[in-house]
Chains A and B, each alone.
Chain A
Amino acid sequence: MSSATAPSSSSPTSLRNAVIRLAGNSQDGIQSIGGFLARLAGRTAQEVMTYMTIPSTISGGPSIFQVHLGSGEVLHEGDEADVLVVFYKHSYENHIAALRDGGICFYDTADMGPEDIKHERGITHIGVPFTSATVEAVGGSTRDRGKNMFVLGMVCAVFNLDKEKLVGIVSRQFGKKDESVLRNALLAFDAGFAYQVGDVEKFAFVPGEATTGHRISTDGNQMLTLGLIAAGVRYGSAYPITPWSSIMESLRVELPKYGGLYVQAEDELAAVSMTIGAAFAGHLAITGSAGPGLSLKMEALGYASMAEIPLIVVNVQRGGPSTGLPTSVEQSDLMQAIYGSHGDSPRIVLAPKDVEDCFYIALEAGKLAKKYSCPVIILSDQALSSRIEAFEEPDLDKHWVEPTLDISTRPEGFKPYPLDSITQHAPPGSKMAGGKYPVSTGLEHDEMGHPSGSPKMHTLMTAKRRNKLVQLAKELPLPEIHGDQTGDVLVIGWGSTYGPIKESVDRLRLEGHKAGALHLRHLHPMPDGLDGLFKKFKHVVCVEMNDSGLYGYGQLAMLLRASLADPRIQSVCKTDGLAFRIREIVTGVEKIMSAQA
């Protein structure tokens, strides 16, 4: 947002991007304001990235929604807000520090007055009677209801947003409910829109670059769900846990439309077992959870590795261990995803880089599970699960995968576990021409699936299961480096840190460093040839939202150091449960560069 906030001028200041933070309590409808703004951005060729916190209590606790709207690429949720809207005095006290110097703060005069204001850092404070103006506009005993719509109207006016489109989005949302609900919402919206906020600058976004094709805006959990459906997933089972639950809720409702079924299990162990049952039965199936639930599924995942069952497992990571921080973000399940479970149990681990990529990672997971007949874990996280981004609608004609169930007759001599090729099971319903029916087993076995305790067979079969992943590592494309292809520092990340790292590398380059960003979507196996890319840079820094541990390295950094034996690999880690701010990454990387100089 423009740095000039000189009050009052007749023509609006044009800007390319702005960060608006709304803070109140969870029952105030803060999230829905954010949702409306995000959807509007998607429809007006603007980029958007949102950030929300939902209190772990059911209702009543503090809630915030931060939206970063921009006419260019929006890569992160914003280090600090340009505009802060607070519903209560406690919201003001907790969030004023997140407002940038010279920013604007709107507060509800119902809960605080000029005496509560801290006059500092050139911030403009504007008291607006959200509550009383809403009650006045809507009338009756509505009291608190609708003040979110009042605020939305006010924001619409301040930022010169497309009112017609915004009202259309609101109408569609509330139109599903009682007629009076929509009427009251629009009354409150209009009151907010017409409210004279006084001596404050008005803004207008420069038009975004027109894009071909349609743009959509939604969150990561929704995109994962739809990606799984497009990948041909039709069956599965899960148990509720934050922040995974919305995926299972969507699959439960969506899959019957496609002739499939998603069922709620009695616990995590049953959920993964039912899913393995559907996979054994010949379907592409998916289970999912958050970190603690993934731990509970580990024994069955070991089975799926041993029995070579294709399976997709989503883990929407949150702060851990144990119940930890259920509604905060962390990337501390990488080691669990790769090495959790007992024995040597190879599986594929992927991580989407942003909301849009949740769709494509699900497609890839489906293809890999089928091709390599093994579990594929998708590591999403709490930030991706709930934040809304705007991006191009996927081309289904290109990506749609028709589900298949291969119960063709298998030829004589069929081997469920051949040593010279990748297992492709014959599910129930397949006739066996040779008369010998296969057994899927968790005991070590020979090529026919007979239990075998032979030392030689265990060695051969362990290698067979591992070599699938070795082969995949050769097939994976090397990720492209953003920014400089050679130079001072290569910044590596995985998962939802993609945007912040990319933005940080842009800043480092502006500051005169030769910097590149490398993002890993394939975490196990990693593509062959990473060492060649690393060699082109003086410093290699891994940025992760997990603990630097006993040896000073985050989980991905540990893996990279172990596999590439490159002592230059260093870590920037954090464990505050919040997404990375750009300045945290830039400062962390610069510190390592100067220490190693």
Chain B
Amino acid sequence: MSTALVTPAVPAPDKLTKKALTADHPTWCPGCGDFAVLNIFYRVLEKLQYPHENIVCVAGIGCSSRFPYFMNTHGIHFIHGRALPLATGISLSRPDVHVFVFGGDGDGFSIGGNHLNHAARKNIKLTYVIMDNFVYGLTKKQTSPTSPIGFKSKTDPTGSIDRPINPMRQLLASGATFIARTHAAQVKHMEAMFERAILHDGFSVVECLSECVMFFAGAFDDSTPRKGGTFDTIDETQHDVTDDQAAYKMAENLAPGKFGVYYQVNRPTKNALEQKWIDDTQSKLVGVSQKEILKKRFEAMR
């Protein structure tokens, strides 16, 4: 958070293009929903034109968590479930960079579930895209925390018996300040959600239904019009996005449920609150060098 440690951004950044942002060819299976997420993310970054060197992509473990390898930006591919606390460390210590976190339902809601609650309540400045496919794909079809009851997997051969979590309701309860739901097959909608999430000053989460064609094909047919489903978007003239009760009610049934911004409020970020504390503390020490501060500390111990 120290402004003193951060040098100003370099002048006249090169134009950020999809070409400049493209890295390794994705290792995802043909037909995977995550390809669309990657393409739309390129497009949104092209639109926002942040300095290339100030973009950071963070991920944990899972198919979708391979994201940093496919983005030519500063990136970090971390351990399972801990992408959010890692991203918190970057966000709080580097106000000059834009932090984007990518992951799946297992990484975010299961092994990393506790961190999601705490990053949300602390309102860490970052954007988190959860590519939810209702299944563990990298490890080849085990039940995930969003798998519906009855889903047959290698760990539930007769069908899942555990109640899946409701991502929207959980995020509302956690205190996230931007909560949206989108669909990898609806690229225009996805683009709008990503852009709004990124521009939100606080902890912004987008749950993006992204089909795993290998292990849970057809999972989202009910919200895919060309498969006979309905893609029902939130009408913000009817839904007040600052009303958490209305959002909670709207999230009652997510099969297939509504898509769009469920909730968005402005609440001070931890980044801003901590910076205020730093500034207030340092305002009492104007004109004293850091070395002098420590010297005085030792003097008091004589």
Residues of A within 8 A of B (CB): 42-43, 214-218, 222, 226, 229-230, 234-235, 237, 254, 256-261, 263, 265-267, 269-271, 273-283, 285, 299-300, 303, 307, 393-394, 396-397, 400, 402-405, 407, 409, 426-432, 435-443, 450-451
Most chain B CB neighbours (cut-off 10 Å) among A259, A397, A403:
A259
Stretch at the interface among B138-146, B187-195, B246-254, B275-283: B275-283
Contact of A270 among B10, B52, B118, B282 (CB under 8 A): B118
Contact of A439 among B2, B69, B93, B117 (CB under 8 A): B69
A-B contact pairs, 14 of them (CB 8 A): A42-B301, A259-B290, A266-B114, A269-B81, A270-B84, A281-B89, A281-B93, A299-B79, A393-B298, A409-B10, A429-B7, A429-B97, A439-B68, A442-B77
Q: Say whether B75 contacts A438, CB under 8 Å.
A: yes
**B72 interface residue per 8 A CB criterion:** yes
Range class of the B interface residue count = 35 or more
Contact of B89 among A217, A234, A266, A275 (CB under 8 A): A275
- Shortest Cβ gap from B126 to chain A (Å): 11
**A440 to chain B: which residues have CB within 8 Å?**
75-77
Q: Say whether A263 contacts B2, CB under 8 Å.
A: no
**Total A-B contacts with CB atoms under 8 angstroms apart:** 206
Q: Say whether A229 contacts B294, CB under 8 Å.
A: yes
**Which chain B residues (278-293) contact chain A, with CB distance < 8 Å?**
278, 281-282, 285, 290-291, 293
Asked, given contacts A280-B76, A396-B295, whether A214 binds B302 with beta carbons under 8 Å apart, the answer is yes
Besides the contacts A263-B270, A407-B53, what 15 more A-B pairs have beta carbons closer than 8 Å?
A42-B302, A214-B298, A214-B302, A257-B285, A259-B5, A266-B115, A271-B85, A273-B86, A276-B89, A397-B291, A428-B74, A428-B94, A429-B7, A432-B53, A435-B20
**B182 interface residue per 8 A CB criterion:** no
**B52 to chain A: which residues have CB within 8 Å?**
431, 437
**B68 to chain A: which residues have CB within 8 Å?**
439
Q: Say whether A257 contacts B85, CB under 8 Å.
A: no
Q: Say whether A258 contacts B88, CB under 8 Å.
A: no
Asked, given contacts A429-B6, A429-B53, whether A265 binds B85 with beta carbons under 8 Å apart, the answer is yes
Contact of B54 among A258, A261, A393, A428 (CB under 8 A): A428
**B82 interface residue per 8 A CB criterion:** yes
**B46 interface residue per 8 A CB criterion:** no
**B298 to chain A: which residues have CB within 8 Å?**
214, 216, 226, 393-394, 396
Alpha-carbon separation in the docked complex, A55 to B114 (Å): 31
What residue in chain A is nearest B91 (Cβ atoms)?
A277
Q: Say whether A427 contacts B93, CB under 8 Å.
A: no
**B130 interface residue per 8 A CB criterion:** no
What residue in chain A is nearest B293 (Cβ atoms)?
A257
- Shortest Cβ gap from A351 to chain B (Å): 23
**A274 to chain B: which residues have CB within 8 Å?**
85-86, 88-89, 92
Alpha-carbon separation in the docked complex, A393 to B56 (Å): 42
**B301 to chain A: which residues have CB within 8 Å?**
42, 216-218, 222, 393
**A216 to chain B: which residues have CB within 8 Å?**
298, 301-302
Q: Say whether A396 contacts B291, CB under 8 Å.
A: yes
**A275 to chain B: which residues have CB within 8 Å?**
89
Contact of B72 among A259, A276, A437 (CB under 8 A): A437
Among all A-B residue pairs, the 6 with the closest Cβ atoms: A277-B89, A259-B2, A273-B85, A270-B85, A274-B89, A439-B75
**A257 to chain B: which residues have CB within 8 Å?**
281-282, 285, 290, 293
What residue in chain A is nearest B285 (Cβ atoms)?
A257
- Shortest Cβ gap from B97 to chain A (Å): 5
**B234 interface residue per 8 A CB criterion:** no
Alpha-carbon separation in the docked complex, A211 to B9 (Å): 50
Q: Say whether B69 contacts A270, CB under 8 Å.
A: no
Contact of A280 among B6, B10, B90 (CB under 8 A): B90
Alpha-carbon separation in the docked complex, A171 to B282 (Å): 28
Contact of B24 among A267, A426, A450 (CB under 8 A): A450
Alpha-carbon separation in the docked complex, A397 to B96 (Å): 31
Contact of B92 among A229, A278, A407, A437 (CB under 8 A): A278
Asked, given contacts A257-B285, A263-B274, A439-B75, whether A405 binds B6 with beta carbons under 8 Å apart, the answer is yes
- Shortest Cβ gap from B111 to chain A (Å): 10
Asked, given contacts A218-B301, A278-B89, A428-B94, whether A303 binds B78 with beta carbons under 8 Å apart, the answer is yes
Asked, given contacts A217-B301, A270-B118, A442-B78, whether A256 binds B277 with beta carbons under 8 Å apart, the answer is yes
Residues of B within 8 A of A (CB): 1-7, 10, 20, 23-24, 52-56, 68-69, 72-79, 81-82, 84-94, 96-97, 114-115, 117-118, 270, 274, 277-278, 281-282, 285, 290-291, 293-295, 297-299, 301-302
**A277 to chain B: which residues have CB within 8 Å?**
85-91, 93
Contact of A215 among B91, B96, B302 (CB under 8 A): B302
Q: Say whether A259 contacts B82, CB under 8 Å.
A: no
Alpha-carbon separation in the docked complex, A261 to B291 (Å): 17
Asked, given contacts A256-B277, A259-B4, A429-B97, whether A270 binds B77 with beta carbons under 8 Å apart, the answer is no
Q: Say whether B92 contacts A441, CB under 8 Å.
A: no
- Shortest Cβ gap from A256 to chain B (Å): 4
Alpha-carbon separation in the docked complex, A321 to B166 (Å): 38
**A307 to chain B: which residues have CB within 8 Å?**
76
Does more than half of chain B's interface fall in helix, strand or loop, or is it mixed?
A: helix
Q: Say whether B1 contacts A261, CB under 8 Å.
A: yes
Contact of B74 among A222, A283, A396, A438 (CB under 8 A): A438
Q: Say whether A439 contacts B302, CB under 8 Å.
A: no
- Shortest Cβ gap from B231 to chain A (Å): 34
- Shortest Cβ gap from B266 to chain A (Å): 22
**A285 to chain B: which residues have CB within 8 Å?**
89, 93
**B293 to chain A: which residues have CB within 8 Å?**
257-258
Asked, given contacts A42-B302, A267-B114, A437-B72, whether A429 binds B54 with beta carbons under 8 Å apart, the answer is yes
What residue in chain A is nearest B88 (Cβ atoms)?
A274
Most chain B CB neighbours (cut-off 10 Å) among A256, A260, A275, A432:
A256
Q: Say whether A273 contacts B89, CB under 8 Å.
A: yes
- Shortest Cβ gap from B135 to chain A (Å): 22
- Shortest Cβ gap from A27 to chain B (Å): 26
**B277 to chain A: which residues have CB within 8 Å?**
256
What residue in chain A is nearest B97 (Cβ atoms)?
A428
- Shortest Cβ gap from B46 to chain A (Å): 16
Alpha-carbon separation in the docked complex, A71 to B299 (Å): 22
Alpha-carbon separation in the docked complex, A276 to B77 (Å): 12
Contact of B5 among A276, A283, A431 (CB under 8 A): A283
**B69 to chain A: which residues have CB within 8 Å?**
439, 441, 450-451
**B270 to chain A: which residues have CB within 8 Å?**
263
Alpha-carbon separation in the docked complex, A396 to B297 (Å): 11
Q: Say whether B82 contacts A280, CB under 8 Å.
A: no
Q: Say whether B7 contacts A261, CB under 8 Å.
A: no
Contact of B79 among A215, A300, A393 (CB under 8 A): A300
**B299 to chain A: which residues have CB within 8 Å?**
214
What residue in chain A is nearest B1 (Cβ atoms)?
A261
Asked, given contacts A428-B53, A438-B75, whether A261 binds B85 with beta carbons under 8 Å apart, the answer is no
Alpha-carbon separation in the docked complex, A227 to B280 (Å): 24
Q: Say whether B294 contacts A276, CB under 8 Å.
A: no
**A437 to chain B: which residues have CB within 8 Å?**
23, 52-53, 72-75
Alpha-carbon separation in the docked complex, A435 to B19 (Å): 11
**A43 to chain B: which residues have CB within 8 Å?**
302
Alpha-carbon separation in the docked complex, A403 to B5 (Å): 8
Contact of A428 among B20, B56, B84, B114 (CB under 8 A): B56
Q: Say whether A281 contacts B94, CB under 8 Å.
A: yes
**B94 to chain A: which residues have CB within 8 Å?**
281-282, 428-429
What residue in chain A is nearest B58 (Cβ atoms)?
A277
What residue in chain B is nearest A275 (Cβ atoms)?
B89
**B2 to chain A: which residues have CB within 8 Å?**
234, 258-261
Alpha-carbon separation in the docked complex, A432 to B20 (Å): 12
Asked, given contacts A283-B5, A300-B79, whether A235 binds B93 with beta carbons under 8 Å apart, the answer is yes
**B93 to chain A: which residues have CB within 8 Å?**
235, 261, 277-278, 281, 283, 285
What residue in chain B is nearest A393 (Cβ atoms)?
B298
Q: Say whether A259 contacts B77, CB under 8 Å.
A: no
What residue in chain B is nearest A403 (Cβ atoms)?
B5
Alpha-carbon separation in the docked complex, A230 to B90 (Å): 22
